[in-house]
Structure 1
Amino acid sequence: MNRELRVAAYAVCIRDEQILLARWVAGDGTRKWTLPGGGMDHGEDPLDTVVREVEEETGYAAEMTALLGIDSMRRRYPRKLGMFADFQGLRIVYEGRVTGGELRSETNGSTDLAAWHALDRVPGLDRVALVDIGLELWRSRPALGHLRPQRGSTTT
């Protein structure tokens, strides 16, 4: 079994009772809303990662104002030649504030649309679990930056 670790950084950007989300496109074409953010490049600082990813996915320049927490998820999935991967995603979640730029969608990336959504409408969106995790971290601001584990999540 191949062990895979992916470290990523995401932003919870909220203004006027709305949250900024990007629509993630899975390999099978499924589309779900997620927090703007993504994987760290080797040698990159997580703070630089989240600022870069917010700009790539939404067109906005942003600054991070707080570290909300860290989430870890694990799943097993099939790979080529009958092998399986033991995947762990380590997600660093920041609170962010838009400082400039204009809303636009990413081209040739892992997302295809960026939009603001009313907070009270988030439960009705087709979304990945990370959106709920990010909102819970933003609302509760746990002292250790960690929520109770949410098992079975398959998010980006």
Structure 2
Amino acid sequence: MREKLRVAAYAVCVRDGRLLLARSPVPDGTFEWVLPGGGMEHGEDPYDTVVRELEEETGYRIEVTGLLGLDSFRQVLRGERLRAPVDHHGVRIVYEGRIAGGELRDEIGGSTDTAAWHDLADVPALTRVPLIDTALRLWRERPADGRVSATPGR
């Protein structure tokens, strides 16, 4: 089975009790909310990745204010476009960020279609990726080892 490693960096940006999220389409035509961020380019520093990705997806420039932790997961991917199953390993670096400039806008021609602020209390009702819950736990709990227990339902 082919192995694939993907390293990505994301930011938790909370301002006035609201969390900044981006919306991403899924193959069935629906949408899910995601943390702003994304995959590292070869040779890119994760810090630079999260700054670049957040600006691309939201229009904001951020100041990274801390490293919250890491999330790692594995899954076997099977799909119509895949010739054979792939053992996918994702490593996600989660930072905390503060908006330092820019204007909120939608991404054009990227992996997301809109960006918006959501009240923290409303986040559990959103259709969202599990990483949001993991990242919010990292943000709230600030574990010394930068890890929280696995998210159910992966």
For the 8 Å contact 1:73–1:151, the answer to whether it is kept is: no
- What is the aligned partner in structure 1 of residue 46 from structure 2? 46
Matches within 5 A, 1:4-153: 4-79=4-79, 80=81, 82-150=83-151, 152-153=153-154
- In the TM superposition, residue 147 of structure 1 has moved relative to its aligned partner by 0.8
Superposed CA offset, 1:97-143 (max 9, x none): 00000000101111001000000000110100011011000000000
Mapped partners of 2:99, 2:82: distance in 1? 45
Mapped partners of 1:28, 1:111: distance in 2? 15
Question: Amino acid of the residue matched to residue 86 of structure 2?
Answer: A
- In the TM superposition, residue 149 of structure 1 has moved relative to its aligned partner by 2.1
Question: Amino acid of the residue matched to residue 22 of structure 1?
Answer: A
Mapped partners of 2:58, 2:83: distance in 1? 37
For the 8 Å contact 1:75–1:152, the answer to whether it is kept is: no
Identity between Structure 1 and Structure 2 (%): 60
Mapped partners of 1:17, 1:103: distance in 2? 17
**Residues 151 and 119 of structure 1: CA distance in aligned 2, closer, same or farther (over 3 Å):** closer
Q: Give secondary structure in 2 for the equivalent of 1:111.
A: coil
Q: Give secondary structure in 2 for the equivalent of 1:103.
A: coil
- In the TM superposition, residue 152 of structure 1 has moved relative to its aligned partner by 4.2
Output the aligned Cα RMSD.
1.3
Question: Amino acid of the residue matched to residue 114 of structure 1?
Answer: A
For the 8 Å contact 1:36–1:54, the answer to whether it is kept is: yes
Mapped partners of 2:33, 2:82: distance in 1? 31
Mapped partners of 1:123, 1:113: distance in 2? 19
- In the TM superposition, residue 29 of structure 1 has moved relative to its aligned partner by 3.1
Q: Give secondary structure in 1 for the equivalent of 2:13.
A: strand
Mapped partners of 1:81, 1:141: distance in 2? 38
TM-score (norm 1): 0.93
Aligned length: 153
For the 8 Å contact 1:36–1:53, the answer to whether it is kept is: yes
